[in-house]
Structures are given as structure tokens and as C-alpha cells.
Structure 1
């Protein structure tokens, strides 16, 4: 049965989508069968994996509203072992439309249950908000992975996210786990980055991954070419970091 990992942090720009794309691609490179779910209306994970979001008839939006099946929504990417449930701007309307749906907080889970056994890992990219979409990701997931940017306000908002995870555990999914924290956009040349890492380690009683994702030009360029980093620049520091993170996830 596939393990489902939601990548969440309500702060924008912390590397959620970058992590969703490149962790998925690195796990697939290791021979694992991967399904990536783009649950963000911006659809950046979709385009970052080389899929044209405007050309998709069936997206995660249609899936959540019961207008297509999970198999009809699924797209094979050009990478071995990697499939995608794409997203586009239509998903922004799903929040309101899900209000009338019975047990709407389980809309995604009910669909993903049909294909869980077909994959080793299912990676969900959450929107940068603690919304109904994020709640759907958490009720579907086995665990939540939190990317934290190495900057001054790193811990701000994290307590809110932890509180949301606890609420979901309490009311909707008791066995939801905290996968851990991964540091992103680390700049070894500054004292600030290492201070943030120390600060989080001292304040968070949770797993912190050994892998730290560096601030890396090639990593930033890759999405504009519709490529994960291991396809765009396989020898870059960013590619190496995400391979190491994939190893830790598997290990």
C-alpha cells in the first residue's frame, strides 16, 4: 500500500512545490512508483513536471467534484514511474463548491483509496493556506512533511500549522503523523541560515531531516523549463540534495 505524504506550510515561497516536484522525481529515479497530486490552484507542480495545465480536460478540480474518475484524471509524465493528478486555476473555486458536498473533507481520500495500492509513494503539494484543500490533503495523507525556509521568520506560522495538524488528528484522522521538517533555501555563506537551523532544532520536538536543500540557481531555473532538477542539471547541488532527501524518506 502506497505511503501518502502531504507537503504543507501555509507560508508561501518556502519551497513546497520545489520539494513536491523534486522529491517525486528523485523517488521515481530510484525505481519507486510515484503519484504526484497538485492540490494548489496555481498549478506550478503540474507545469514543473512538464504538463501543460491549460490543456487538461480532467484535473483535480473535476475529480474532487466527482466529475471524473481518478484514472481519467491521471496523466503519465515523461519520466519513468511518475504519474500526476494535474491542477489549474479552476481549483480555486473548489473550496466554495465543496461546501455542499457530504463529508467534503474526505473528498480526495475517497478517490485516492482506489489507486493507493498502485504506487509506492503518493506526494501531495498543498496550497499556501490552511484551507479545505489542505484539510483534504491531510485526511488523505499518512504523514505531513513541512519545508521551512532558512530565514528570519521561519518559525512564524509554524505553530499554527502544527495546531492544524493536531486538529485533524483529533477530529478527522487520528493516525496522521508528522513526517518531519526539511530546511530549504539554505545559504552556507550566511550566519542567519545556520542560526535558523539551530533555532528550529531547539524549539521543535520533531524529526528534522539531515538533508538541507541549498539555495541553488539551477534549482530555481528548472521549473521554467518544465523539468525536475535531476533532469535539468543532474550533477547540481540541488539534484544531489533531493536525492539524499528521497533516500531518507525511503530509509
Structure 2
């Protein structure tokens, strides 16, 4: 376990539903729980699926949640809406239908008011308390997604090994580049994660090979298979690493998390090298 915390902030985003976006966040949080890394999971999807799986009482209706961070009429201390989950190392901020009217799609409605910075204060306040902060975004490019990207260090884009599963990825990549250029220069695409793959289906393998060829090193080596153990873990609201730690599903989850950590280290190492080159050339490192 890390001795000094400075959270790695990761956004999980895709425009296509059913590609394993929330499940990816769930896997990351589950690995953190097992390894005793302190994690804050921020649910930005009004469906609240991640929230329900983390709540100590899933029937409890949260009155304050992530919606309050996007409502200019509310002066809410971000730390006051953080809840303790039923797992000792996972805290979360819940989402509910109150997000719907606030999560506008048009940049013309929120950029003039700088609402894309709505999550920056949260991160700055709690980054020293956690090892990871995870943003689970809705299946659209809207205020919440742009705000998550603006507050994050890294992005993971899950996608399904099918033609329709890759739809919208180009727009997500463009959004990442836009935020990096305009609002958050440290933002890095950690990689594209092929999820829900059925290894025995030839067309899934063909599409997976095509996606790996298309995205090269930006495609994760680890792929998340569409195995029953993952669905059962979600149904029982217990991460697979805890529910069945010796299962093949748990093994893949660990491999995925290890690759995430490796990619973060490589990205940070590359950033330090770039800064040294800038400084060596007599320029000011930004």
C-alpha cells in the first residue's frame, strides 16, 4: 500500500452503452479494495448503477450526490457528499436522476460559465486522501464527461469487439484532445480496453484483432472476456476479486489492474523525460 497518497485520477468514458464502461470502473475499484488502496468512485451516470452496487443500503435514496457539483445555485462542500461504501477502502459519490437536467450536451450552454471545471475543486480537496479517484461517465459527450476529463490525469475507453462497439470512439478521442489543448494539458489517454469479448466467437476475435491493429500500443494487452463470473459478481454487488478470488475472472481483473498501473508509470516517466528536455533547452517547463 502506498505510504504517501496522491490520487491517480482516471475517467472511464465511451459514447456507446453496453461496452463495459461501468464494469471497468467496478473492476478498478475492486482491485483497489483487495490491495488496500483507498479509492473514491464518482458516479456521473444518472442511472446510478455503480452507486447501487456500492451503497451500504441499496434501497436508500441519496438526496445529495454528484448532481450538486454541477448546480451553480448550490454551494456544496464536495467532501460533504462523499459516502462510505460497504467496502472499507472504497468511498463514493452517488448519482441519481437529479443529474439529468444539469448534464447538458451543448458546450455553448456550459463553457461560457466554466462549468467544465466543476470537478476540479473536488479533486484538489481530496487528492491527498486517496490513491485513486475514478469517474464513471454516462454514454454521451456532455457536461459531466467534459468535467471529468478536465479534472483527470488519465482516460480509459472501453469498447466492444464489434463494429457498432467501436462507434463513437473517434468522437471520444477528439474530446480528449480538445480538453487536453484547452483545459487540462496533463490529460493522457491510458488506452482502449477491449471488453465483453467472447473468445470462442470467431467474429469477436476478428474484430479484436482489427481494433488492436488500429489502436496499436494504445490498445490494452488485457481484454475483459464476457464470462459469467463477472455478471454474477455484479448481480451480488461484490467485486469478483472478493467474491471469487481464485477464479479466472479475478485473475484477468488483476492482470488488467497491473497493466493500468504499468501504463500510469510509463506515462509519468515519459512526462518527466519531456520536462527535462524542455528544461535542458533553456525553456520553462510547464
Indicate whether the TM-score tops 0.5: yes
SS of equivalent residue, structure 2 residue 222: strand
Query: What is the distance in 2 between the residues matched to 1:29 and 1:236?
Result: 14
What's the secondary structure of 1:198's corresponding residue? helix
Instruction: Give the corresponding residue for 1:76.
Output: 84
Give the alignment of 1:139-154 within 5 angstroms. Answer: 139-154=150-165
5+ long unaligned stretches in structure 1: none
Q: Could you tell me how far 1:203 is from its partner in structure 2?
A: 1.3
CA distance in 1, matches of 2:59, 2:176: 30
One of 221, 238, 251 as aligned partner of 2:249: 238
The aligned counterpart of 1:160 is 171
**Number of equivalenced pairs:** 251
Please name the residue that 1:41 is paired with.
Answer: 46
Instruction: Tell me the CA shift for residue 57 of structure 1.
Output: 2.5
Aligned to 1:8: 13
Alignment of 1:167-206 (within 5 A): 167-206=178-217
Question: In the alignment, is residue 91 of structure 1 matched against residue 102 of structure 2?
Answer: no
TM-score, normalised by the number of residues in structure 1? 0.92
| Structure 1 position 150, deviation (Å) | 1.8
Q: 2:66 aligns with which of 60, 73, 80?
A: 60
Any idea what the Cα deviations from partners look like across 1:202-244, whole Å, max 9, x if unmatched? 1124422221111011212332332222233333332222121
Larger strand percent = 1
Distance across 2 between alignment mates of 1:224 and 1:78: 15
What CA RMSD, in Å, does the superposition of the two structures yield over aligned residues?
A: 2.1
Q: Name which of 113, 120, 123 aligns with 1:112.
A: 123
Structure with more contact order per residue of length (Cα contacts < 8 Å, sep ≥ 6): 1
Aligned to 2:269: none
What residue number does 2:113 align with? Answer: 102
Classify 1:177/1:64 alpha carbon distance in 2 versus 1 (closer, same or farther; 3 Å).
same
Please list the CA deviations of residues 29-64 of structure 1 after superposition, one character each: whole Å capped at 9, or x if unmatched: 112111111011110110122453752122111233
Describe the superposition over 1:109-168 as per-residue Cα deviations: whole angstroms up to 9, x where unpaired.
122210011111111101000111100010011111011112232332211111111111
TM-score by length of 2: 0.81
Indicate the structure (1 or 2) with the bigger Cα radius of gyration: 2
Q: In the alignment, which of 99, 109, 133 is matched to residue 144 of structure 2?
A: 133
Structure 2 stretches lacking a partner, 5+ long: 1-5, 263-286
Secondary structure, counterpart of 1:37 in structure 2: strand
